[in-house]
Structure 1
Amino acid sequence: MINSKLLQTVRGFIADNFLFRAENEALGDDQSLLDSGIVDSTGVLEIIAFLEQTYEISIADSEIVPENLDSVGRIADYVERKRAA
């Protein structure tokens, strides 16, 4: 079970930086940020910088893949795995 505070923090960052307020209401945990056009490659770099600073983790280039960073749920799950390691 993913930490709800972590989901909320990640969703808040994405909403504040990439969405209009109305779109935030519909952002699901599993919605693809890339396929939906919410985030582009530059946005992914902004998310990475936010995660590294906020959660004091280091994200390797090899970990910058959709499986880790393409939705709010995947990002939260990835951060939990990194923090547990």
Structure 2
Amino acid sequence: MQSIEQRVRKFLRETFPVANETELTAEQSLLESGVLDSIGVLNLMTWLEREFAIYVEDHEVVPENIDGIGALVRYVESKRAEAGLTE
């Protein structure tokens, strides 16, 4: 089974062509690097909900939770723990 980080990286590479142009570090900004724009954020949030069986609250869509692969992994882990889900 792939880790959360591997699944997020695969989704980004398959969905956003800019993600293939550089090797993204875990803490690199997805917004500043041009991987995500506002529509991309919506697409990503929808995918996170479906892929990880979580519900993303509107107030949680902030850079601290979504602007980097590391931030996304931590966010998904916390949401899954909150819901009592494990990998």
Q: TM-score over 0.5 for the alignment?
A: yes
Give the Cα–Cα distance (whole angstroms) in 2 for the partners of residues 77 and 69 of structure 1. Answer: 9
1:60 is aligned to 57
3-state secondary structure, aligned to 2:3 = helix
Q: For structure 1, which runs of at least 5 residues remain unmatched after alignment?
A: none
Superposed CA offset, 1:38-80 (max 9, x none) = 1101000000000000111000000000000001110011000
Normalized against structure 1, the TM-score is what? 0.88
What RMSD, in angstroms, separates the aligned Cα atoms of the two structures? 1.6
Q: For structure 2, which runs of at least 5 residues remain unmatched after alignment?
A: 83-87
Larger RCO of the pair (alpha carbons < 8 Å, separation 6+) = 1
Percent identical among aligned pairs is 43
The change in CA–CA distance for 1:60 and 1:21 in structure 2 (over 3 A counts) is: closer
Aligned pair count? 81
The 5 Å alignment of 1:1-85 reads 5-19=3-17, 22-23=20-21, 26-85=23-82
Write 1 or 2 for the structure with the bigger share of helix.
1
Shift in Å, 1:83: 0.4
